Amino acid sequence: MEDVAIPLERVVDPSGLHGDYGRDPERTPMQWDASPYAGFSTVEPWLPLADDYQTRNVVAQRDDSTSMLTLVRRLIALRHDYLALRVGNYRSLHTDNAAIFAYLRVADEQQVLVVLNFASAAQHLDLSSVGTTGTLLCTTHLDDSGSVTLSKLALRPDEGVVIVLG
């Protein structure tokens, strides 16, 4: 879901009533389905729905293998399946690339690498300091899996990856 522009006359959030930034755009009704009021209510909610609620909702995303809902479900499943993602120690990884944020989560013998590319251009990096290969568990593009070589890691624009090492 995207933030929704709230006209000042419809703002209810106390801080927003004074012309300051409010929370209302982040608190729009949950878009469950394409029915009137997006399945959130049987009456008009006091916050407006997004213009695209009939196509961007839980029902529409439920069976879409590339949807944000699918990504969130996959990340939750990984957290459930990998001890390192639940309780592992956090270790920040230094890269010389300001567009990259990388860290390890480590629990017992399990190591999971998370790398995020915040640039709108592809990035190539060498993370051989943490290992030679790993298995790609998830990418934010939801279209790839398999073995990766950490000395030649390539991330597409705005991509994040989760890799189990070893």
At residue 17, does pLDDT exceed 60? no
100 and 154 co-located in one domain: yes
29 and 100 co-located in one domain: no
CATH number of domain containing 148? 2.60.40.1180
Looking at the DSSP bridge assignments, the partners of residue 163 are: 113, 136
Residue 130 in any domain: the answer is: yes
pLDDT value, residue 38: 95
pLDDT per residue as tens digits for the range 46-81: 888 999 999 999 999 999 999 999 999 999 999 999
Entry pTM: 0.80
Are 112 and 104 a contacting pair, CB within 8 Å? yes
Residue 68 in any domain: the answer is: no
Q: Give CA–CA dist 139/163, Å, rounded.
A: 9
At residue 93, does pLDDT exceed 80? yes
Q: Give CA–CA dist 66/62, Å, rounded.
A: 10
Kindly state the tokens that stand for 91: 């270790």
Domain extent at residue 99? 83-165
At residue 141, does pLDDT exceed 60? yes
Name the strand (E) or helix (H) holding 78.
helix 68-81
Are 140 and 71 a contacting pair, CB within 8 Å? yes
Residue 143 in any domain: the answer is: yes
Q: Give CA–CA dist 148/122, Å, rounded.
A: 16
Residue 73 in any domain: the answer is: no
pLDDT value, residue 128: 96
54 and 94 co-located in one domain: no
Closest by CA to 121, choosing from 97, 95, 156, is: 156
pLDDT value, residue 144: 83
Residue 146 in any domain: the answer is: yes
Work out the pLDDT band at 1, boundaries 50, 70, 90: low
Residue 74 in any domain: the answer is: no
95 and 134 co-located in one domain: yes
Q: Give CA–CA dist 44/20, Å, rounded.
A: 25
Average pLDDT on 137-166 reads 96
In the chain, how many domains are there?
Answer: 2
Residue 78 in any domain: the answer is: no
